[in-house]
Amino acid sequence: MIYLMRHGADSPERFGGWSSYGLTEKGKEQVNKAKIDLKNKGIVEIYSSDLTRARETAEIVGEHLCLPVELRPEFRETNNGHLAGMLKTEAAKKYPGKYFNTLGWDEPWPGGESPKMFFERIRKAWTGFKAEIGLKEVLLITHAGVINVILCLENNVVFTNKKLAYRIGEAEIIAVDNLDK
């Protein structure tokens, strides 16, 4: 089984994406509560996006499970370029109307990647990851957008940036069977 976990809450006033901002106190509380559910899952390895909010989540969980964390930059959230970490009020002035769901499929964020590039990056990373880990019980700590793509791939749902297929809560844990379908 592969357990996917979204990081805890980060600043609601800032754009996420490739932001270097970490967890809020609320986010740390969410992770400390959620980690209890992972104790008896048989997890033998922990992997995480290298972005600060995911890495901090992984460190809290790793300490709880007495496991090291291997960072995987390929599981970063969408690269939102110049908007990463920017206050949303500032972004509204500099880049009015720029949101993931307003981008064309091939249209990149200013200084970042397009929805198509994001999807292809995660598709390739996920396919390789599943082949690499085999049937081990592992935990991958990442981001809502990444988990959304993975769930679309696993459930044969067409991924689009125009409509969110899956809503993943902060510090939510989802189990995905790692057997090939």
Both tokens of residue 66? 């007495």
What are the pLDDT digits (tens) for 16-52? Answer: 999 999 999 999 999 999 999 999 999 999 999 999 9
Query: Residues with Cβ < 8 Å from 113, sequence gap 6 or more?
Result: 78, 79, 81, 121
Q: What is the distance in angstroms between the CA of the first residue and the CA of the last residue of the chain?
A: 13
Is residue 74 very low, low, confident or very high in pLDDT (cuts 50, 70, 90)?
very high
Whole-angstrom distance, CA of residue 13 vs CA of residue 26: 14
Is residue 180 very low, low, confident or very high in pLDDT (cuts 50, 70, 90)?
low
Evaluate if residue 181 carries a pLDDT over 80. no
What are the pLDDT digits (tens) for 111-125? Answer: 999 999 999 999 999
Q: Which amino acid is at 116?
A: K
Task: List the domain boundaries for the chain.
Answer: 2-176
CATH of 2-176, one of 3.90.10.10, 3.30.930.10, 3.40.50.300, 3.40.50.1240: 3.40.50.1240
| pLDDT score of 178 | 81
User: Percent of the chain beyond pLDDT 90?
Assistant: 97
Crossing angle between the packed helical segments 52-65 and 25-34, to the nearest 10 degrees: 40
Catalytic residues: 7, 77
